[in-house]
Amino acid sequence: MTDEQPLEESDEVADAVGDDTAVGAFETGGGPDADTPVFREPGWQPRTGAEQPWDPEDLAEAEGKDPTPENVARAKAELDEDGPAAIDRTVP
């Protein structure tokens, strides 16, 4: 066990309480956290790979397959049947 003093009892915290200086260990960097969540507009959706045009060759390669005629035909069938969902499964 160490003899470290709790942060709340440190001189740095006492100084911060006395003159409103920042305590580095308590700072969040101003980004989102439990007390400052990020609010988004209604209907906001994250961007996905499906928001751009995809060729069957691109989908076959994104799935780690060579763009052989068989793989391109299978990728084309996936795109025709599932649309953007086929891309979202591969490129989230």
What is the tens place of the pLDDT at every residue in 40-84? 778 776 666 667 788 999 999 989 999 999 999 999 999 999 888
> What is the Cα–Cα distance from 58 to 86, expressed in whole angstroms?
12
Alpha helices in 1-92 (DSSP H): 11-19, 56-62, 69-82, 84-90
pTM over cut 0.75: no
Tokens of 52: 């751009």
